[in-house]
């Protein structure tokens, strides 16, 4: 018996020599992520886009709202305005750099709101089950069957179309998916043994929800949050395109919406903001995919 | 003398698609301070439900405590408030689970988890709790505990994880420690170490241990007294020696004969087995629930449920034992 316990002690005592470091699941996911080239490409692309929208105007002089030249100047003709001008003669580059900020901000805020509503309701439904679950899921289904864009349009029309209203409207229409995902994760995790074990040491429900189950449910939720950012940006663009954006704030969607009538005469004022949206959402999707691969142990090869 | 933990006529039912099923039927057992009670029986005979009822962890609904009492120091746990039960859980009664692989939270370090358990019941700072956690890891025989405390569960072996579970369970010096098949998932050498550790803990803290197992070897090594369960009932209640040497109930006898005899003089006969399986709880008819698998049945076994009565040596629920046919 004594030599048996020694043998286990031996192996454990030997381990520190390998100089291995305790690695949290998050660190491990990061290690996986670093090896994912498309995901890294997406990260770099999004960083560049964010940097450009935040700092671009420090380097590029010009005002997005000023009429500076003749309207519909094609790109590459006048050196001062490489991407040309829009239907009022405003500089497109200044528009892109200024309009990115609000677009990204609305996207991020809407995604954050989506996650907050979705995770709270999904967690309560999944954890408590019974009538709480029934009630919350019926509410979720109610929101799910409403046509999202139409509902958002109604909300924006009812209240003044400011950036905040738009973010809230997008958040309010897109949380059901997150709620269902959270609920599913909670239903799965709440019957695992470490939840019972946490109860057995006397943990309260609140602690079990937030400190035991939620951290374990996070990986798919992080992925979904990333993808939600992309969807929210598209949503904002869609609303602006339909003329429901904040008319006083330059955004990519607004640029497309304002110039769409002249698309047959001038393709560039619509195309460039469109490309900006495309690349942003594309990079966000690449990141989301990368996170999915990094967190999903089934896809992880060692 | 009153027992530290006393389960009396406990009846637990579950609502299933077969209607209400009685998972525990007038189960009585008790354990005294510093004593180890073994609870044995096949899978599905109610051992774990007994443990979970004691911890107040039966999912309700569908479960329901339909009758009886669980008294810890005279306080009936089936009647206390949720918050009182929470402070008892992990404080006065703690539990060790079967699967050390899955009973630790994978996203926190083991040191953190033990510290959390300490802070739930004691007013100490986080730093102090972490120090205590490292001391506990040392106590349960984990080498270089200050380093292991920073490990995540998946970095530890099964035996190490079960030690961590034990450290967490004993962090508040529980009066009653319920070990639900603590070694089933571990290999044999580690099993012996874990039993040694449990014995040491019991010696140091004076805790009562309820050891739930289907391993008669574990019983002979650990238990002072044994309650044999079958189909939701206690069918024999005796000291470990009595059960191992002279089991009265045919089922207990069957369990004992299932232990393979090793050594020089051992005959290499076919290992004994108990024919059949535990009947599904919703299909229990009148009479003794063991009648289909028993070789000593008579008409009375089919009609009358045997009660747990002392017919001589110790309490046993069997008509055959009562009538001296056994």
Provide the number of structural domains found in chain A: 1
Distance in Å, alpha carbon of A199 to nearest chain B alpha carbon: 8
Tell whether A4 is covered by a domain.
no
**Average confidence (pLDDT) over B144-173:** 87
Tell whether A160 is covered by a domain.
yes
- Domain range holding A269? 24-300
Tell whether A157 is covered by a domain.
yes
Tell whether A242 is covered by a domain.
yes
Q: What percent of chain B has pLDDT over 70?
A: 94
Tell whether A6 is covered by a domain.
no
Read off the pLDDT band of B270 (50, 70, 90): low
Tell whether A11 is covered by a domain.
no
pLDDT in 10s for each residue of chain A, 302 residues: 344 444 444 444 444 444 445 567 777 778 888 888 899 999 999 999 999 888 877 777 777 787 878 788 788 777 777 788 888 888 888 888 888 888 889 889 999 999 999 999 999 999 998 899 999 999 999 998 988 888 888 888 888 888 888 899 999 999 999 999 999 999 999 888 889 888 888 888 898 999 899 988 888 898 888 888 888 888 888 888 888 888 888 888 888 888 888 888 888 888 999 999 999 999 998 998 888 888 765 555 44
Q: Which residues of B touch A203 (CB under 8 A)?
A: 86, 90, 116, 120
Q: Which residues of A touch B177 (CB under 8 A)?
A: none
- The ipTM of this complex is 0.80
Secondary structure of residue B81 in the 3-state scheme: coil
The reply to whether B156 touches chain A by the CB within 8 Å rule is no
Tell whether A2 is covered by a domain.
no
B109:A22 CB<8 A = yes
**Which of A189, A195, A200, A205 to mutate against chain B (most B CBs within 10 Å)?**
A200
Q: Which residues of A touch B108 (CB under 8 A)?
A: 215
Q: Which residues of A touch B109 (CB under 8 A)?
A: 22, 24
| B279 in Cβ contact with B294 (< 8 Å) | no
Which tens digit of pLDDT belongs to each residue from B274-309? 777 777 777 777 777 787 787 777 777 777 777 777
Distance in Å, alpha carbon of A188 to nearest chain B alpha carbon: 13
**Average confidence (pLDDT) over B81-86:** 85
Which CATH number goes with the domain that contains A183?
1.10.3720.10
Q: Say if pTM beats, i.e. exceeds, 0.90.
A: no
Tell whether A223 is covered by a domain.
yes
């Amino acid at each position: 018996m004594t030599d048996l316990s020694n043998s286990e002690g031996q192996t454990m005592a030997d381990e520190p020599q390998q100089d291995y470091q305790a690695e949290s699941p998050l660190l491990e996911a990061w290690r996986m992520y670093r090896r994912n080239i498309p995901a890294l490409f997406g990260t770099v692309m999004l960083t560049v886009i964010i940097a450009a929208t935040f700092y671009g105007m420090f380097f590029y002089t010009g005002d997005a709202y000023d009429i500076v030249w003749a309207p519909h100047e094609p790109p590459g003709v006048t050196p001062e305005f490489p991407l040309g001008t829009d239907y009022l003669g405003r500089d497109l580059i200044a528009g892109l750099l200024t309009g990115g900020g609000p677009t990204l901000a609305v996207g991020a805020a809407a995604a954050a709101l989506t996650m907050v509503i979705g995770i709270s309701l999904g967690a309560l439904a999944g954890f408590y089950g019974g009538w709480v679950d029934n009630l919350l899921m019926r509410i979720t289904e109610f929101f799910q069957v409403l046509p999202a864009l139409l509902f958002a349009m109604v909300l924006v029309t009812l209240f003044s179309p400011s950036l905040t209203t738009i973010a809230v409207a997008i958040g309010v229409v897109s949380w059901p998916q997150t709620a269902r995902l959270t609920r599913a994760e909670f239903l799965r995790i709440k019957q695992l043994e470490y939840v019972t074990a946490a109860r057995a040491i006397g943990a309260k429900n609140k602690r079990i929800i937030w400190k035991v189950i939620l951290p374990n449910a996070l990986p798919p939720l992080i992925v979904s949050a990333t993808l939600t950012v992309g969807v929210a940006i598209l949503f904002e663009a869609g609303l602006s395109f339909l003329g429901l954006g904040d008319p006083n704030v330059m955004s990519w969607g607004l640029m497309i919406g304002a110039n769409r009538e002249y698309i047959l005469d001038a393709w560039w004022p619509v195309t460039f903001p469109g490309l900006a949206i495309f690349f942003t959402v594309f990079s966000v999707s690449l990141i989301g995919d990368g996170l999915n691969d990094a967190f999903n142990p089934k896809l992880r090869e060692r | 003398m009153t027992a530290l933990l006393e389960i009396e006529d406990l009846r637990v039912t579950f609502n299933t698609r077969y209607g209400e099923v009685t998972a525990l039927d007038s189960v009585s057992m008790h354990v005294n301070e510093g004593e180890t009670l073994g609870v044995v029986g096949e899978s599905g005979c109610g051992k774990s439900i007994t443990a979970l009822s004691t911890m107040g962890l039966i999912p309700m609904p569908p479960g329901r405590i339909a009758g009886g009492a669980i008294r810890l120091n005279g306080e009936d746990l089936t009647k206390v408030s949720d918050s009182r039960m929470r402070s008892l859980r992990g404080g006065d009664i703690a539990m060790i689970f079967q699967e050390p692989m899955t009973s630790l939270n994978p996203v926190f370090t083991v040191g953190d988890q033990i510290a959390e358990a300490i802070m739930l019941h004691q007013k100490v700072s986080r730093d102090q709790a972490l120090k205590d956690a490292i001391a506990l890891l040392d106590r349960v025989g984990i080498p270089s505990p200050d380093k292991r405390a920073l490990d995540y569960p998946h970095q530890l072996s099964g035996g190490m994880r079960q030690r961590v579970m034990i450290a967490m369970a004993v962090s508040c010096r529980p009066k009653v420690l319920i070990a639900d098949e603590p070694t089933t998932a571990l290999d044999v050498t580690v099993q012996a170490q874990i039993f040694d550790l449990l014995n040491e803990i019991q010696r140091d803290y004076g805790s009562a241990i309820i050891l739930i197992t289907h391993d008669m070897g574990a019983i002979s090594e650990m238990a002072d007294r044994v309650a044999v369960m079958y189909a939701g009932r206690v069918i024999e209640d005796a000291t470990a020696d009595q059960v191992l040497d002279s089991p009265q109930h045919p089922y207990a006898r069957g369990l004992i004969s299932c232990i393979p005899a090793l050594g020089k003089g051992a005959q290499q006969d076919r290992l004994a087995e108990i024919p059949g399986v535990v009947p599904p709880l919703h299909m229990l008819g009148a009479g003794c629930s063991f009648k289909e698998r028993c070789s000593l049945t008579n008409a009375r076994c089919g009609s009358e449920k045997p009660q747990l009565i002392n017919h001589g040596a110790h309490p046993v629920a069997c008509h055959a034992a009562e009538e001296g046919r056994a």
